[in-house]
Structure 1
Amino acid sequence: MPQPNPLPTARRRRLGAELRRLRERADLSATQAAALIGATQSRVSNIEAGRYGVSADRVRTIARHYDCTDEPLINALAAMPGERRHGWWEEYREILSPRMLDLTEVEHHAIALRVAHIINIPGLLQTADHARALFHQAVPPLKPHEIEHRVSHRIKRQEILHREQPPPYTAIIHEAALRMRFGDRATVRAQLHHINKMSELDHVTIAVIPFDNGPFPTSGQGIDYFHGPVHQLDTVQLDTDHGAELIESPAQLERYRLIVNRLLDAALPPTKSRDFITQLAHDR
């Protein structure tokens, strides 16, 4: 009998959480569910915690026993166990925090991304020099090799925007983040030019919120909204002082969808945003 995995991936944990939601919606206890699907109660609990893998057929069987009739959701859940090989981020498993790797995995599988940042340039748009200057401000201080590991990881994350079929990416950036200085003047100008260069890609949209555009609904923390194949599998990542926090509850997802929409409404359109950044780079 296979042993439970003590370090399940973010994707496997999410699949388990969704199966638990389906069970609870069916008003079944773990013991009742186990009897229906021909398993033990402990196995059901381990599946829901992501410690046991399940096949696509098994997912469909479980969903049927839980009286789920949402075919798009069932298909999306059944597709989640399909990727057997480890992602590239596993090479950082002993180097970076599990939260950072979870973020990378969720980001990698998103079908579209919308981010809103008030005081920092979004990670997928940072130059290596900007990221390096940013990591130099970490508390507690990072050692030189730790900084370089984080820089290389951040740059490698950006490859999703250069895939053969990249996901649509929308970045809402406040003027405060664009004016924040990390590195020397050449680094600052190069970062601004890089954002504009990225905005020329067909699948990338950059929208700037100037100071003059007034108040907007956010606490100032960065919001990364990752769209799944169905809206139930969306994920939000919030920047916090203690690292990335992943949110997946339906009520919270709806809240952050509305917040990102409101922020986008407060921003300049793409062409004016590009002009704004060009002028800002010229002034620096």
Structure 2
Amino acid sequence: MPPTNSPTLRQRRLGTELRKLRERAGLTTVRAADLLGVNQARISMIETGRTPVSADRLRAMAHAYDCSADRLIDALAAMTGRRVRGWWEEYRDHVPAALVDLAELEYHASALRVALVIHIPALLQTTDRARALFQEVVPPMRQYEIEHRLTHRVKRQGVLHRDDPLPYTAIIHETALRMAFGGSVVARGQLKHLIDMSELPNVTLRVIPFGVDRFPTTGQSFDYVEGPVPQLDTVQLDSAHGACEFLDAEAQLSKYRAVLDRMLSCALSPAQSRDFIHHRIQDL
């Protein structure tokens, strides 16, 4: 398989996990190459995601690295082969690369949990709400850039409506429900949409009201993307400059799992959350 100069997040993650397996086995790239009968450069290219690896080669590498975690090996094998050209690839020249990677990550996820304070989750936003947000980006985006972002966001939302819909849990602070981006009409439409989405069997919506006496986070929004096995989970953080930061170290994943669990412990139940949003609509 020919090398690529622009590996996707999924390809880079596969390479990272293979590097972790090699390092846990105490092997250098030189020793690993000897065991596998390839040159050192090929090992390095695989570990950076620049050279695709077959499922058979991956299993040979796992065997050489004394990895006996069958579920992890199977999950990694499913990530091998040539790059899947999903719908997100058509946006590679139109939106930041991290947003393309995020769409691919969501598409392949086993489940997704998000926590937000100021904004409504992207997968639950109405087009009007999203447009109002994009119009406030600094520096301003041109109209065609806004349209690319909008269509990209709408297509991302498809994971909640496909034949095998993504299990999705959204924890939203009351602040986000009171931010009237786009005006009261847009805000009312957004809240009604939240209620409609919360009634889907795969969507769980939990609200944290102002009245709680604890809040186990700094207020930063994040997505917790579950993979087929916990080792392949990913945390996505938003940043002030509009890019996405992806975390996958074991300690980081453990931290954000704990944060989500604590946030859920102080959130309203799904039924109470719907009632809360209904009351907010009446206030507008």
| 1-structure distance, mates of 2:193, 2:252 | 33
Q: Which runs of 5+ in 2 are unaligned?
A: none
Partner letter of residue 130 of structure 2? A
Aligned to 2:188: 189
| 1-structure distance, mates of 2:211, 2:81 | 48
| 2-structure distance, mates of 1:116, 1:143 | 29
The answer as to 2:38 corresponding to 1:44 is no
Residues 75 and 228 in structure 2, CA contact (< 8 A), matched pair in contact too: yes
| 2-structure distance, mates of 1:138, 1:84 | 32
Deviates more, 1:17-26 or 1:234-243: 234-243
TM-score (norm 2): 0.98
Q: CA deviation at 1:85?
A: 3.4
Aligned to 1:34: 33
| 2-structure distance, mates of 1:257, 1:137 | 32
SS in 2 for 1:28: coil
Aligned to 2:281: 281
Partner letter of residue 160 of structure 1? V
Change (3 A) 1:204 1:146: same
Aligned to 2:8: 9
Change (3 A) 1:83 1:123: farther
Partner letter of residue 123 of structure 1? A
Aligned to 1:254: 254
Q: CA deviation at 1:186?
A: 0.9
Aligned to 1:233: 232
Coordinate RMSD, CA, aligned: 1.0
Percent identical pairs in the alignment equals 56
Residues 168-207 of structure 1 aligned to structure 2 (within 5 Å): 168-207=167-206
Q: CA deviation at 1:87?
A: 1.1
Aligned to 2:134: 135
Aligned to 1:215: 214
| 2-structure distance, mates of 1:197, 1:15 | 37
Residues 168 and 204 in structure 2, CA contact (< 8 A), matched pair in contact too: yes
Partner letter of residue 129 of structure 2? H
Q: CA deviation at 1:220?
A: 1.3
What do the CA deviations read for 1:40-79 (whole angstroms, capped 9, x no partner)? 1111011000000001111111000000000010010011
Q: CA deviation at 1:215?
A: 2.5
Q: CA deviation at 1:3?
A: 4.6
Residues matched between the structures, number: 283
Partner letter of residue 170 of structure 1? T
Residues 72-111 of structure 1 aligned to structure 2 (within 5 Å): 72-81=71-80, 84-111=83-110
| 1-structure distance, mates of 2:83, 2:153 | 24
What do the CA deviations read for 1:175-218 (whole angstroms, capped 9, x no partner)? 00111111021110000000000000111000000010132121
Partner letter of residue 188 of structure 2? R
Change (3 A) 1:82 1:47: closer
Q: CA deviation at 1:39?
A: 1.1
SS in 2 for 1:211: coil
Deviates more, 1:215-224 or 1:127-136: 215-224
Residues 52 and 82 in structure 2, CA contact (< 8 A), matched pair in contact too: no
TM-score (norm 1): 0.98
Q: Which runs of 5+ in 1 are unaligned?
A: none
SS in 2 for 1:80: coil
| 2-structure distance, mates of 1:213, 1:33 | 53
What do the CA deviations read for 1:261-284 (whole angstroms, capped 9, x no partner)? 111111000000000001101111
SS in 2 for 1:7: coil
| 2-structure distance, mates of 1:235, 1:111 | 11
| 2-structure distance, mates of 1:217, 1:49 | 35
| 2-structure distance, mates of 1:86, 1:214 | 47
